[in-house]
Amino acid sequence: MANDSAKKLLATNQALMKKYTAIIVGANALYIAYRVAYLWSTFSGWHIAGYSILLLVYAVCYFMLSRAAAPTYKPLNEGGALVSGGSDLSQGGVLEYTWDMLYTTIFVQLTTGFISDLFWLLYLLPPCIGFYFLWTQVIYPWISKPEEPTEPMAQEKQKAKVKYGKAR
């Protein structure tokens, strides 16, 4: 068949999204059952704010991954055949950072729910890493860019160059 690779990629992406949907739902169910229901006396406004941030990060990560995994079809008037099975979810770039953020979110949620509230400090790492990449790849090269010489100086330098010819 012509679209075997697209069908395999579609099946792989659907299985992966189903697996991580179950992991996210399970992590949230465990957190709510233990931290919210069982330890209600220690569940404060800060925990509600942190849990809201976790849910927001889950939503953004899941949206980005589901959009990348979405298949592409031809229009119905052209047969509606599968064109692409979506992007490969194991590729680098933004998808790789999305997976890292998803793993960090799951880890922080489970460790703050079962071990200690100090694990919230791990959630400071992704913004620090993002600022580091922003600084090294955007801000610092932009502010340290040498100025271009003006046109008259460039002509003077060109005139000052000595050209050597071939010796016979």
In a domain, 162, yes or no: no
When comparing pLDDT for 153 and 45, which is higher? 45
> What mean pLDDT comes out for the span 58-66?
94
In a domain, 166, yes or no: no
Instruction: List residues bridging with 39 in a β-sheet.
Output: none
How far is Cα 34 from Cα 97, in angstroms, rounded to an integer? Answer: 29
Query: Are residues 106 and 24 in contact, defined by beta-carbon separation less than 8 angstroms?
Result: yes
In a domain, 137, yes or no: no
Q: Binning pLDDT at 50, 70 and 90, where does residue 132 land?
A: very high
Query: Are residues 91 and 43 in contact, defined by beta-carbon separation less than 8 angstroms?
Result: no
In a domain, 57, yes or no: yes
Which pTM was predicted? 0.75
Domain containing residue 111: 4-119
In a domain, 72, yes or no: yes
In a domain, 64, yes or no: yes
How far is Cα 30 from Cα 59, in angstroms, rounded to an integer? Answer: 18
Q: Binning pLDDT at 50, 70 and 90, where does residue 154 land?
A: low
Q: What is the DSSP letter of 85?
A: -
Query: Are residues 94 and 112 in contact, defined by beta-carbon separation less than 8 angstroms?
Result: no
| Count of the separate structural domains present in the chain | 1
In a domain, 44, yes or no: yes
Sign (positive or negative) of CA dihedral 13, 69, 50, 40: negative
- CA 74 from centre of chain: 28
In a domain, 89, yes or no: yes
